[in-house]
Every structure is written in structure tokens, then in C-alpha cells.
Structure 1
Amino acid sequence: MTDHNLELPFWEGFIASKVERRSGAVWIDLRRCPSAPMVCSGCGHHCYRVHETGVRIIRELPMLGQPVWLRVPLRRLRCGQCGTRTERVSWLDRHARVTRALADFVGVWCEKLPVAHVCKLAGLHWETVRTIERARLERQLSALPEPQPTRLVMDEFALFKGHRYATAVLDADTRRVLWVGEGRSREAIRPFFEWLGTKRCANIEAVAMDMNTAFDLEVRQQCPNARVVYDLFHVVAKYGREVIDRVRVDEANRLKDNRPQRKIVKRARWLLLRNPQNVPPDQQPRLNELLAANQALMTVYLMKASLKELWQQHDAKTWRLAWRSWFAMVADSGIEPLRRFADKLKPYWRGILARVRWPMHTGQLEGINNRIKVMKRMAYGYRDSAFFFLKIKAAFPGNP
């Protein structure tokens, strides 16, 4: 045990009066510097009357690998404006049990490491680290300007295994994640529009999404002036699953007596789903041979390229011509999976046509979803979805 009377800059207004090592930790007793003014933590005015004095145990940054505890005498002051308030301490937040230095240390490392690793690094309990990080994220988000979006992007991402999803909403102009909520139903996304408010909902001009009927219906109800824009990526992905995959399986079954050809068709799934420009040069002869030998696969493969052209038109007139042409080719093909897909696509024509006026897509949010997956893997998952959603919004605050 050592007695000192040191005034140190990192504990402004206090003097270290005693230092002792006990039970694998360093304990430091502080006492008020006589010349330090008494300042109200509420209004910041100087006070001259003390209501009572107590001692608070505060955690400080580790020292040489050992935890550090401070015994800090804190006074409750009688303020003429605020009433009874605790005095202000520059290096300690109100009601806090850790110093600002330790909280900043935790905040910096929580941006780079999982919470469990930060707990070992700082020597703090998991719940303490999470509480510090949550407060930091809330301060960071509250400092952002009030969003005034006019174009939105909505998409879902996997939250947990077992088909549990969450929905993210992005401001298409600033690339700021405005809201994240669990679920992908109308009821799940309704809190976003309630948070946005009637006035800002009326300012929304366009919303990009996949062909999710729940999203579509809720947007039309909440945002009367918004046009729904369907994303090409999701439509083509759906085409690959429901048309190309189905025709490939049907053709493989038809070739059950020709085992070599059946094997080639069965193993060609990823080759057929690739865009032509992404086919490796060494695989191109194999693809050409496969398509030349199978008329049905050739038809649906080329029809995918024609489908993409619907998103590349620059005016409504040429779009309508392309739309009618594509459906005429579907009717002439005689391929049942292709016809079924076309029948499902017809009711969504307005959202596809809207792409002419609003060249939007969900690609921005797809990239963000990939980073969300990395955050989730790095943390080995999150127990608290609300905390995870705070992390996502803070990670994507938008362009300055």
C-alpha cells in the first residue's frame, strides 16, 4: 500500500491519495482537489452548496495487464436551477461505472473485434461491454441529420438459420441504412413507415424491391406518391430457379436412357445460370455443345437474355414492344415452365415499366447485405437483434 498526493491530468479535479494492490487488481483512492470548482452536471453552472457526499467505485483502463478500480468521492450539489444534482466530472459520464477513457477504448475495439474478444482485452463482463457499445452507437446515430429520403431500396437478409429474415431499408441517394427490422411481412415493415411519418412518406417518389407482394402492398398504402420498381437481379434469379433449373431437370429425366448425355445435363446447372460474359473461356465450348444438342435448354437460355432487355429500355414505347415480343416468344416456345413463369410475371408489369423512369436497383443493398454477413460471422452471431440492427445502421451512416 502506498500513500500519494498526486494531481494527474487524466483524473482532472482529483488527487490520487492512495494506491494498493489487492486480489490481483490495483485499487486507487481519489480525493477532490480543494481548488476544483463544484459544477452541476445538469446545467453546467457553478454551485456552492453540497447536499451529500458518497463514494462510487469506478473501473479504469487496465494497468500492466491488471484491472484498475477507483474509489471516487462524488458530491450531490444543490443547484438553484436543477435542484439536487451530482457534480460534473470531466472524465466520467453521469451514472457511469467506467471512466470515459475505458469507454472510448471499448468503443474503438468494438468496431474491429467481436464483443467477446473486447471483454478479454478490457477485462470487463460481456454485458458491460455491450452496454457501453450500445450507448456509443445510440450517440453516433442521434448525431446524424434527420433523413429526408425521396427514393428507397428495400430488401431482406437472413437473420438466423431456419428461414428467419430481417428487412433493411436504404436511402437510395445517400446510401444510409434508415431502418432494420425483423421479419419480411407487411406488419414487420409497417413500423418503418410509422417512424417515417405521413409527411415524409408523401415525399417518397420510388421504392426499389424484389417481387415481394408484402413490400409492394405496404408501400402502395403508406406512400401514395411512390412508384414501385422491381429489381432485375431478383427476377433473373427467380427465372433461373423456376425455368432454367426446371427445364434442366426435365431434360435430364428425358435422357435417362442415355447416361453420358444425362450426366452432362445434370452437371451443367451453374454453367447455365452464369451470364454469358462470366463463362470461363475453357467452359465456353462445353456450353456451346450443350446448347446445340438441346433445343429446350437453348430456348430458355436465350430467353433469359431477352428478359434482361426489358430493364434496358429507355422509353415506354420501346419497352411495350419488347414486353409484347417476349411474351409472344414464350407462347411460341411450348415450354411449360417458361409459360408458368411468364404468367406469374404479367401482374408485375407496372413495376418493371417503372424502371424506365426510375433506373433503380437493389444492388446497393445487396452489397450492404454481404457486409452484414461478415459482421455476423465475425461476432459469431448476435443474441440481441436490436443491438445487431444498431450496429448495421451505425456501419452505414450514408454519404456526407
Structure 2
Amino acid sequence: MRDINTFLPFWEGFSVVNIKPDGDALQIDLTPHANRFPSCGGCLKPCSTTHEYCERVIRDLPILGRAVRLSVLLRRVACRDCGKRMEAVSWLDRYARMTRRLADAVIQACERLPTLHVAQMFGLHWDTVRLLERRALQAALSTLPKAQPRRLVMDEFALFKGHRYASVVLDADTRRVLWIGEGRSRAAVRPFFEELGPEGCARIEAVAMDMNTAFDLEVRQHCPKARVVYDLFHVVAKYGREVIDRVRVDEANRLRHDKPARKVIKQARWLLLRNPQNLKTPEQQVHLQDLLAANQSLMTVYLMKAELKALWTPGAAWAWRSDWKQWLRHAHQSEIPALIQFAKRLKGYWRGIVSRVRWPMHTGQLEGINNRIKVIKRMAYGYRDSEFFFMKIKSVFPGNP
């Protein structure tokens, strides 16, 4: 067996005494070196007295594609300080039924593969793989330094089908996901501010978000010094849904007796919503120009969208205020009900728009992270435990140093 121990030096302090096939697996019998005193599993001090021997079956990494089961003879020592304790083994955790090598390999595989695939690859139970990954995530998150954010980004993403959402809070400076919770109401995001504490809330200077009233009110309650900054993309998307789409449908209904003209307007939805620089072909540009020239209402709301986007690139607060008043005046003068209604609603959010002058922030960072979250969710075919899913997300986005 000396030659076997030379070629299989994986189990420090133990010798291979027998190798035999066990179905599709290999069973390897290990016995401790007789010339080495065992160490106490509690204080790690050498012990000369062995209280008893016990045998434990332990899983290890496969060898040549075959699963490995170790039959290990372990010693329970009589320690003067700790009493009767199992000996310390360098390649085995206390009470573990698999080696540290196998556990590390499983955790590394979980970073690239779904839990079910990892379980099948190593021949382990699904719950065992999930428990190993959970412990690794908890250990990794516990080593992260305490966050002291000054600027935040808040958004939500779809957690399950059926309009079930989760809220995400990101540190805008370090790109670290600070907190995730189910729901998008005030009660759902309140635990984050309670966890941040009064000192942490007082440190917050600005928060970027979409026009989510729940986020807005909760930030104003807990962070009175923070300025809310509304994201341009969400406002323009809302304008497209509530104004451009509404006017397009109204104009199509008005031309119900002119079927060719009605068809042109009905099929122009994405042409109107797309930015001019994103038109792919000259034919699309010509089509858009002809459409706007033929319909005054569509021309108005299309140009008003460009003016609305310009409000997010002001040079100074006084210039923004002048442009803002002009945009509101043009909206009311248009006599387009959908545009007038949108302007009335947007008027209550002007502070979050003008904050862009001082804090040029947006939720684009979090939108990119939300796309990565979707990939993580799809790779695992969904998660049964939301808490575990949230830990997985936090570990993927620990922030920049």
C-alpha cells in the first residue's frame, strides 16, 4: 500500500489500506498514521490518549469519472482542556460527510451551473448542494465591509409572473447591491431605511428612481436631506405610453373610414416611439417625415417628446425653469387632451426633474443589473426561496473597491 499512498497523497494524516469497487463508485479505506498523535478538534492541541475509534463514510471528488466513498477510521481523543472530542482533520470539517475539496468544487460549479445540474454532476442531493451554496454565500457576504452610501439608485424587477415584484437598492458610487426585498410599496422598502439607521439616512444626498410614489415618499420621510432625481428613461417611456400611443389610437379611430390612412397610423407605433437616430433605414426616416407632415397632432406630441428629453440636460437651474415653463405652456396650448393630462401629472414631479441640474444621476446602472438578475433567474429556472435568491444577487454585485 506504500505505492498507493505515494500516488494518492490526498488525505493528510491517513493511509490507504484498501481500494475496492462499489457498484459504479470506488470505496477507499483510510486509517490514521500510527506514528502521529491526533489533535483535538476543539483546541487543536496534540493528544496522546485515544478514547475510542469510530468509522465514518465520507464523499470525495470523483477519480477517473467514478464517485469516491471514503471509509475513514477516526479517533475520539480525551483532551485535558476540551474533554472528549473528535480529532481534527485538515481536509475535513467538523461533522462533515464530504471533504473540503468536494465542497469547494461544488460551490465553484454553482457559480456557472444550476443547482440541479451540479447535483447530478457530483451525484449529490439537491438540498445538499443548495445548503453548501447558501453557507458559502453567507460567508462571502459576512466579509463585505459595512456600506456607507451617499447616493442611491432604487428600482424594481419582476420576481414572479402575475405582477409580483422585488425592490432593489444600489449604491450609485460603488455599484454594490445594498438591499433587496419583495414588493414595491412603502412597507416593502421601509426595512432598508430602518437597517440603514438615522445616521446612515442623514448621510444620503441623492436618490435616483422612476416616478414611483412609494419610493419617493419613503425617501422623503427617512432621508429629509436627500434630493430625489427622476430617471429620464422612465419618464419618456411613460410619455410614450400615455401620450403618443393615446394620440395615435385616437387619430386612427378618427380615420376609420379612410382604411389606407388608418393602417399607416396604426402600424407606426414603434416608428414614433423610436429615437430619430435609431432609425435603421432611409425609408423609415422618409416614412416618419411623411407621417408627421400629414398629421398635426402626431407632429405636436413627437416634437414635445424631444423638448421633454431636453429638460434632463440643463446648464443651470434658471435655464431649466425657463424651459420647464415653456414646455408646460406648449402642452396646454396644444389642446391635445392626453398631452394636457400628462403635463398636469408631471407638474407635481418638477423637483425631481430639476434635481438633475445638481445630481446628474439615472437608473441605467440598475437597469443593467436587472438584466443580469434575469439571467441568474433563468439559469436556475427560478428560485423557491426568495431569501436565497437575494443573497445570490448580492454576492454577484459586491461593489467596486
TM bucket, shorter chain: over 0.9
Query: Cα distance 1:81–1:364, how it changes in 2: closer, same or farther (>3 A)?
Result: farther
Deviations 1:51-75 (A, max 9, x none): 5543332111122332211122334
Query: Cα distance 1:297–1:78, how it changes in 2: closer, same or farther (>3 A)?
Result: farther
Deviation at 1:383, TM superposition (A): 1.8
Q: Supply the distance in 2 between the matched residues of 1:191 and 1:340 (Cα, whole angstroms).
A: 35
Deviation at 1:154, TM superposition (A): 0.8
Q: How does 1:201-240 map to 2 (within 5 A)?
A: 201-240=201-240
Deviation larger for 79-88 or 64-73: 79-88
Q: Supply the distance in 2 between the matched residues of 1:191 and 1:80 (Cα, whole angstroms).
A: 48
Query: Cα distance 1:394–1:82, how it changes in 2: closer, same or farther (>3 A)?
Result: farther
Q: Supply the distance in 2 between the matched residues of 1:17 and 1:233 (Cα, whole angstroms).
A: 68
Which residue number corresponds to residue 303 of structure 1?
304
Deviation larger for 84-93 or 337-346: 84-93
Deviation at 1:331, TM superposition (A): 0.7
Which residue number corresponds to residue 103 of structure 2?
103
Whether 1:259 aligns to 2:259 is: yes
Instruction: Answer whether contact 1:20 1:28 (CA < 8 A) is retained.
Output: yes
Query: Cα distance 1:203–1:51, how it changes in 2: closer, same or farther (>3 A)?
Result: farther
Q: Supply the distance in 1 between the matched residues of 2:78 and 2:152 (Cα, whole angstroms).
A: 50
Q: How does 1:1-400 map to 2 (within 5 A)?
A: 6=5, 8-50=8-50, 52-77=52-77, 79=79, 85-282=85-282, 283-400=284-401
Instruction: Answer whether contact 1:316 1:353 (CA < 8 A) is retained.
Output: yes
1:29 partner letter:
D
1:16 partner letter:
V
Q: Supply the distance in 2 between the matched residues of 1:320 and 1:209 (Cα, whole angstroms).
A: 21
Deviation at 1:188, TM superposition (A): 1.3
Q: What SS is found at the alignment partner of 1:162?
A: coil
2:200 partner letter:
R
Q: Supply the distance in 1 between the matched residues of 2:229 and 2:318 (Cα, whole angstroms).
A: 18
Q: Supply the distance in 2 between the matched residues of 1:308 and 1:99 (Cα, whole angstroms).
A: 59
2:353 partner letter:
I
Q: Supply the distance in 2 between the matched residues of 1:322 and 1:48 (Cα, whole angstroms).
A: 86
1:395 partner letter:
V
Q: Supply the distance in 2 between the matched residues of 1:294 and 1:323 (Cα, whole angstroms).
A: 26
Question: Normalising by structure 1, what TM-score?
Answer: 0.94
Q: Supply the distance in 2 between the matched residues of 1:82 and 1:246 (Cα, whole angstroms).
A: 77
Q: What SS is found at the alignment partner of 2:59?
A: strand
Query: Cα distance 1:228–1:106, how it changes in 2: closer, same or farther (>3 A)?
Result: same
Q: Supply the distance in 1 between the matched residues of 2:57 and 2:257 (Cα, whole angstroms).
A: 80
Q: What SS is found at the alignment partner of 1:59?
A: strand
Q: Supply the distance in 1 between the matched residues of 2:213 and 2:76 (Cα, whole angstroms).
A: 58
Identical positions, percent: 65
Deviation at 1:76, TM superposition (A): 4.4
Q: Supply the distance in 1 between the matched residues of 2:75 and 2:271 (Cα, whole angstroms).
A: 73
Deviations 1:2-55 (A, max 9, x none): 999737432111112222222332222222223444334444444455555433
1:129 partner letter:
V
Deviation larger for 329-338 or 46-55: 46-55
Deviation at 1:369, TM superposition (A): 0.7
Question: Normalising by structure 2, what TM-score?
Answer: 0.94
Deviation larger for 339-348 or 194-203: 194-203
Query: Cα distance 1:80–1:335, how it changes in 2: closer, same or farther (>3 A)?
Result: farther
Q: What SS is found at the alignment partner of 2:10?
A: helix
Instruction: Answer whether contact 1:4 1:16 (CA < 8 A) is retained.
Output: no
Q: Supply the distance in 2 between the matched residues of 1:195 and 1:73 (Cα, whole angstroms).
A: 48
Q: Supply the distance in 1 between the matched residues of 2:51 and 2:199 (Cα, whole angstroms).
A: 48
Any stretches of 5+ residues in structure 1 without a counterpart? none
Q: Supply the distance in 2 between the matched residues of 1:94 and 1:234 (Cα, whole angstroms).
A: 52
Deviations 1:80-130 (A, max 9, x none): 665654432221223322211111211222111111211221111111111
Query: Cα distance 1:77–1:103, how it changes in 2: closer, same or farther (>3 A)?
Result: same
The CA RMSD measured in Å over matched residues stands at 2.0
Deviations 1:123-156 (A, max 9, x none): 1111111111111222222222221111111110
Instruction: Answer whether contact 1:177 1:396 (CA < 8 A) is retained.
Output: yes
2:10 partner letter:
F
Q: Supply the distance in 2 between the matched residues of 1:84 and 1:333 (Cα, whole angstroms).
A: 87
Q: What SS is found at the alignment partner of 1:280?
A: coil
Q: What SS is found at the alignment partner of 2:72?
A: strand
Deviation at 1:325, TM superposition (A): 0.8
Deviation larger for 59-68 or 367-376: 59-68
Paired residues, number: 399
Q: Supply the distance in 2 between the matched residues of 1:46 and 1:225 (Cα, whole angstroms).
A: 60
Q: What SS is found at the alignment partner of 2:5?
A: strand
